């Protein structure tokens, strides 16, 4: 396949300042008439051909300035329309008529049908499946869209921008016209038509303009859209207050559909959502679902300024909108909820998804330089690491200068298609600093490591930190340059208070941040009488790994006393990880796992510490996942031994804290009316993790069954079902709870997704057979991405012992299924296939079987570009 390279970027010879589209909708044969105003750029020869992108199109008509083109004047294939004879005038009108079949479109890109609703997905290159166009983000056009449909089939007709007119036509047809005054790239175009229920509200912007808000859902589900609407209004207000960003159209619409490749899409004025991220009430959604809805509603809304008003010059710049918008939604959630809890959750996600990507065969820079399939670059690196890079800019500049830089960005680049260089420049200009070394965070792949050791000389009252940076090699980047790493730190005295020092040399230290710029820094703090404990990477100021020579006593001290809530959590998490790795080695050596009582005691102390938020305590008590442990071990992984080490530690903590956990569990019972707010969710989270521990003790199974049957919300019900299905697999209680759950929710696909997920993640070699059987269950469908991700995605990426079953049957099932999904939806199949990206860290037997599975996919006939790209890079 073709490789696209950043260095090959050049603007097109033509622009399309105006786009007029008419759709005559019909499931099998929709007509699309595009009337384009085309402009030749200054200095371009009149003989330059106009080459438009297409993808599987049927061309019916092509005219320029009112005259049909002669066959000699153009060449059309399903994937390209080349106009060889272009008028000499600098501007002309091009009319293109195409026919597309939304009903048969299972790729969910371009125009498709989801439960009889017509909808579109154009990012990244879906618009070319609708009409021939310059389908690239630097071609900005003002769109007017007329939609015609049968009124009974599609009473609702929506597109971007503001409504202009609508009326009946003959024979039961009607039409609506929409106009979007803001020039936009084709990837932000959207159309929705169908029979949908509507929830309305309004919002008055900071300058006093009224915006009509609409959320459209499957008829009958309107009462499930209230939380999303509330999240939308809070997002709109927050963006005004935090960034001065005001909404700019008279309407803002959100449509929820049940077939969607990703979470949601920020089309101008018409966001389209996976219904999983809109619909919620206490009966059907967990607290995690509510938090995701809030975050994704905010994320897509925030794109209105970071993505839509200022878009990307080309797809290499994807992090310009995605990393920045993730940073903005993280800040929003931190302000709406608990900042410390939010930060811990973000870091857990980054380590679970981005670190393995950065440390494996699919590693790429936040701003990649090459791609074969852009759909495969909507990654944790572009999104999550991209957000961390923006956070580091704020850490380096400080809040005020960062905000000044953002203001300059909005002022300077509004209406443009910009680059990462433009973004860095606004912060250089706002601060007067040189950020060129810092910019390597965008250009260089791999997770940097800092090796840190410390010494204290009581005689000279000097405390010294030796810090050395290294960036491991990544595919096609063997030599790395030195990075600028802002390392927030604290010196903590025996009383838990910050230790003062009189001067520091060896590195720039500002506002509690050491600026690492060289390979090695020896940072000397003078005037330090007693040896402090060092708290490093406070607040996770840089997305790095640390190798710290640190006494266990210091870790325990920091876990109890660090004033930085994130680092306090981190210290306890490091203690847990070290204990788990030691247990893993003991298990491999045939020895029993033993855990220090000060560890299990500390777990109890944290659980019962009323000065800490319940949500924070719940996060602290959540043991590192099996995948986390495997990543920290690094190589020669036996997932069964990892699983056993984790179970052993959980049992030790539960046994040592039986009474405390049980009392706390009883005390946390909540009789108040349900509220999805963060504090209530935190209490549920703490009680549910206590249940998880208590379920390991005698009578734990009955306790979990009681919890399940007395639950009054989905958070508690799903937590109890997970405990029963995972820890008491095959027990009468587990079987009954699964059956009861199925009986109650059989008609609710989003809830049945949880039922599929819980079963797909049951540890052990037998689960592959369960999952195979569930592919034939009526709740499952290979055509629906949510169903596929819930069953197959969960099994392959969240079930270490099941998927990595020693005899390779998990991998065989995976190969068959990925290839089956691929026939319908290559994008979803390619994402599933990334589950094997860390195959080289497995023990040799599993490694060989994983490789066979990857080769079987690679050797399949007619492989899509999406899947081929992932599998070939994974095998290198």
Question: 10 Å Cβ neighbour count for 692?
Answer: 22
**Are 581 and 638 spatial neighbours (Cβ–Cβ below 8 Å)?**
no
Of 580, 556, 577, 579, give the one whose Cα is nearest residue 568. 556
Instruction: Provide the 8-state DSSP code for 474.
Output: B
**Are 469 and 482 spatial neighbours (Cβ–Cβ below 8 Å)?**
yes
Q: Give the nearer residue to ligand HT7 in terms of CB position, either 375 or 797.
A: 375
Kindly give, in sequence order, each residue whose CB lies less than 8 Å from that of residue 81, ignoring residues fewer than 6 positions away.
51, 52, 54, 57, 59, 62, 74, 75, 96, 132
Q: Give the nearer residue to Zn ion in terms of CB position, either 322 or 869.
A: 322
CA distance 81 to 89: 20
At residue 856's C-alpha, the angle toward residues 853 and 860, to 5°, is 145
Q: Give the nearer residue to ligand HT7 in terms of CB position, either 296 or 842.
A: 296
What does 425 bind: ligand HT7, Zn ion, none (CB cut-off 5 to 8 Å by kind)? none
For the bound state, the minimum distance from the C-beta of residue 115 to ligand HT7, rounded and expressed in Å, comes to: 18
**Are 661 and 694 spatial neighbours (Cβ–Cβ below 8 Å)?**
yes
What does 262 bind: Zn ion, ligand HT7, none (CB cut-off 5 to 8 Å by kind)? ligand HT7
For the bound state, the minimum distance from the C-beta of residue 266 to ligand HT7, rounded and expressed in Å, comes to: 5
Listed in sequence order, the DSSP H helices in 155-313 are: 226-243, 287-302
Q: Give the nearer residue to ligand HT7 in terms of CB position, either 83 or 215.
A: 215
For the bound state, the minimum distance from the C-beta of residue 456 to ligand HT7, rounded and expressed in Å, comes to: 47
Q: Encoding tokens for residue 375?
A: 């759909």
The length of the chain is 876
What does 265 bind: Zn ion, ligand HT7, none (CB cut-off 5 to 8 Å by kind)? ligand HT7
Instruction: Provide the 8-state DSSP code for 315.
Output: G
Q: Encoding tokens for residue 75?
A: 């060449």
| Interface mask toward Zn ion for 298-327; x: CB under 5 A | ------------------------x--x--
> 148, 266, 294, 300: which is the annotated catalytic residue?
300
What does 294 bind: ligand HT7, Zn ion, none (CB cut-off 5 to 8 Å by kind)? none
Q: Is 300 one of the catalytic residues? A: yes
What does 375 bind: ligand HT7, Zn ion, none (CB cut-off 5 to 8 Å by kind)? ligand HT7
For the bound state, the minimum distance from the C-beta of residue 306 to Zn ion, rounded and expressed in Å, comes to: 9
Rg (CA), the chain: 28
Q: Give the nearer residue to ligand HT7 in terms of CB position, either 379 or 767.
A: 379
Quickly list DSSP for 7-24.
Answer: GG----SEEEEEEEEEEE
Kindly give, in sequence order, each residue whose CB lies less than 8 Å from that of residue 464, ignoring residues fewer than 6 positions away.
454, 455, 456, 457, 522, 523, 524, 525
Of 286, 154, 291, give the one whose Cα is nearest residue 219. 154
For the bound state, the minimum distance from the C-beta of residue 261 to ligand HT7, rounded and expressed in Å, comes to: 4
For the bound state, the minimum distance from the C-beta of residue 482 to Zn ion, rounded and expressed in Å, comes to: 31
What does 822 bind: ligand HT7, Zn ion, none (CB cut-off 5 to 8 Å by kind)? none
The residue behind tokens 């260095």 is: 7
Q: Give the nearer residue to Zn ion in terms of CB position, either 312 or 627.
A: 312
User: What sign does the CA torsion over 347, 352, 353, 358 have?
Assistant: positive
Ramachandran angles phi, psi of 788, nearest 5°: -60, -45
Q: Give the nearer residue to ligand HT7 in terms of CB position, either 313 or 631.
A: 313
Q: Encoding tokens for residue 259?
A: 């077939």
For the bound state, the minimum distance from the C-beta of residue 564 to ligand HT7, rounded and expressed in Å, comes to: 30
CA distance 289 to 303: 21
User: What sign does the CA torsion over 631, 633, 636, 641 have?
Assistant: negative
For the bound state, the minimum distance from the C-beta of residue 447 to ligand HT7, rounded and expressed in Å, comes to: 22
Using CB positions, name the residue nearest to ligand HT7. 262
**Are 613 and 683 spatial neighbours (Cβ–Cβ below 8 Å)?**
no
What does 483 bind: Zn ion, ligand HT7, none (CB cut-off 5 to 8 Å by kind)? none
What does 713 bind: ligand HT7, Zn ion, none (CB cut-off 5 to 8 Å by kind)? none
Binding footprint of ligand HT7 on the chain (CB under 6 A): 121, 123-124, 261-262, 264-266, 299-300, 303, 322, 375, 378, 827
Q: Give the nearer residue to Zn ion in terms of CB position, either 322 or 331.
A: 322
For the bound state, the minimum distance from the C-beta of residue 303 to ligand HT7, rounded and expressed in Å, comes to: 6
Kindly give, in sequence order, each residue whose CB lies less than 8 Å from that of residue 510, ignoring residues fewer than 6 positions away.
none
Q: Give the nearer residue to ligand HT7 in terms of CB position, either 303 or 687.
A: 303
User: What sign does the CA torsion over 366, 385, 228, 757 have?
Assistant: positive
Binding site for Zn ion (CB under 5 A): 322, 325
Q: Which residues are catalytic?
A: 300
């Amino acid at each position: 396949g073709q490789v696209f390279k950043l260095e090959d970027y050049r603007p097109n010879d033509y622009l399309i300042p105006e786009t007029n589209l008419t759709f005559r909708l019909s499931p099998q044969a929709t007509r699309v008439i595009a009337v384009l105003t085309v402009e030749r750029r200054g200095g371009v020869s009149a003989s330059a051909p106009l080459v438009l992108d297409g993808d599987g199109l049927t061309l019916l008509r092509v005219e320029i300035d009112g005259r049909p083109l002669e066959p000699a004047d153009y060449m059309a294939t399903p994937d390209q329309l080349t106009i060889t004879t272009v008028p000499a005038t600098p501007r002309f009108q091009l009319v293109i008529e195409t026919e597309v079949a939304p009903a048969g479109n299972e790729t969910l890109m371009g125009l498709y049908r989801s439960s009889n609703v017509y909808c579109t997905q154009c990012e990244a290159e879906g618009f070319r499946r609708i009409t021939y166009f310059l389908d690239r983000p630097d071609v900005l056009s003002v769109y007017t869209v007329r939609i015609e449909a049968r009124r009974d089939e599609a009473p609702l007709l929506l597109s971007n921008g503001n409504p202009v007119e609508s009326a009946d036509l003959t024979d039961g047809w009607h039409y609506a016209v929409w106009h979007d005054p803001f020039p936009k790239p084709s990837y932000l175009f959207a159309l929705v038509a169908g029979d949908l229920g509507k929830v309305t509200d309004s919002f008055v912007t900071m300058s006093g303009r009224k915006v009509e808000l609409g959320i459209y859902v499957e008829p009958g589900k309107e009462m499930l859209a209230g939380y999303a609407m509330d999240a939308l209004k809070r997002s709109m207000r927050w963006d005004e207050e935090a960034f001065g960003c005001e909404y700019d159209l008279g309407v803002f619409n959100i449509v929820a559909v049940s077939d969607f490749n990703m979470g949601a899409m920020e089309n101008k004025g018409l966001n389209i959502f996976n219904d999983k991220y809109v619909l919620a009430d206490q009966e059907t959604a967990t607290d995690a679902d509510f938090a995701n809805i809030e975050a994704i509603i905010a994320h897509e809304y925030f794109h209105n300024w970071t993505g839509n008003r200022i878009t990307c010059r080309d797809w290499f710049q994807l992090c310009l909108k995605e990393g920045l918008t993730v940073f903005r939604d993280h800040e929003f959630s931190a302000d709406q909820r608990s900042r410390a809890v939010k930060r811990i959750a973000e870091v857990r996600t980054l380590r679970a998804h981005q670190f393995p990507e950065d440390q494996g065969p699919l590693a790429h820079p936040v701003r990649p330089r090459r791609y074969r399939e852009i759909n495969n670059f909507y990654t944790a690196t572009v999104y999550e690491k991209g957000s961390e890079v923006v956070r580091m800019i704020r850490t380096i500049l400080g809040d005020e200068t960062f905000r000044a830089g953002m203001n300059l960005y909005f002022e300077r680049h509004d209406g443009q298609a910009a680059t990462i260089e433009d973004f860095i420049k606004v912060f250089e200009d706002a601060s007067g600093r040189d950020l060129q070394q810092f910019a390597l965070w965008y250009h260089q792949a791999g997770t940097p490591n800092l090796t840190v050791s410390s010494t204290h000389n009581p005689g000279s009252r000097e405390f010294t930190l030796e810090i050395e940076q290294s960036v491991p090699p990544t595919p096609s980047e063997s030599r790395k340059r030195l990075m600028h790493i802002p390392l927030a730190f604290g010196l903590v005295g025996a009383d838990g208070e910050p230790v003062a020092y009189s001067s520091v040399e060896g590195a720039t230290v500002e506002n509690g941040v050491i600026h690492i710029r060289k390979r090695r820094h020896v940072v000397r703090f003078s005037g330090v009488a007693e040896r402090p404990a060092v708290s490093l990477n406070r607040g996770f100021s840089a997305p790095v790994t640390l190798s710290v020579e640190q006494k266990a006593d210091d870790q325990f001290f920091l876990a109890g006393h660090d004033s930085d809530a994130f680092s306090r959590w981190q210290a306890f998490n490091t203690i847990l990880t070290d204990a788990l790795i030691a247990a893993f080695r003991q298990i491999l050596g045939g020895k029993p796992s033993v855990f220090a009582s000060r560890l299990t005691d500390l777990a109890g102390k944290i659980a019962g510490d009323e000065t800490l938020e319940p949500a924070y305590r719940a996060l602290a008590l959540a043991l590192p996942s099996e995948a986390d442990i495997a990543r920290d071990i690094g190589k020669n992984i036996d997932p069964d031994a990892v699983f056993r080490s984790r179970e052993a530690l959980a049992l030790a903590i539960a046994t040592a804290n039986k009474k405390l956990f049980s009392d706390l569990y009883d005390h946390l019972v909540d009789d108040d009316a349900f509220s999805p707010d963060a504090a209530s969710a935190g209490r549920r989270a703490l009680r549910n993790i206590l249940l998880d521990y208590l379920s390991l003790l005698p009578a734990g199974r009955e306790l979990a069954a009681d919890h399940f049957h007395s639950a009054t919300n989905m958070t508690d019900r799903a937590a109890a079902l997970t405990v029963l299905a995972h820890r008491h697999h095959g027990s009468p209680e587990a079987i009954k709870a699964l059956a009861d759950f199925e009986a109650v929710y059989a008609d609710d696909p989003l809830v049945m997704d949880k039922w599929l997920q819980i079963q797909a993640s049951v540890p052990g070699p037998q689960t592959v057979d369960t999952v195979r059987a569930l592919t034939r269950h009526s709740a499952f469908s290979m055509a629906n991405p949510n169903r596929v991700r819930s069953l197959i995605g969960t099994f392959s990426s969240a079930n270490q012992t099941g998927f990595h079953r020693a005899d390779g049957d998990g991998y065989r099932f995976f190969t068959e299924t990925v290839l089956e999904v691929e026939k319908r939806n290559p994008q979803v199949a390619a994402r599933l296939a990334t589950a094997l990206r860390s195959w080289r860290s497995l023990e040799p037997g599993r490694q060989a079987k994983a490789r066979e599975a990857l080769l079987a996919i690679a050797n399949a006939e007619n492989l899509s570009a999406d899947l081929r790209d992932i599998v070939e890079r994974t095998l290198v």
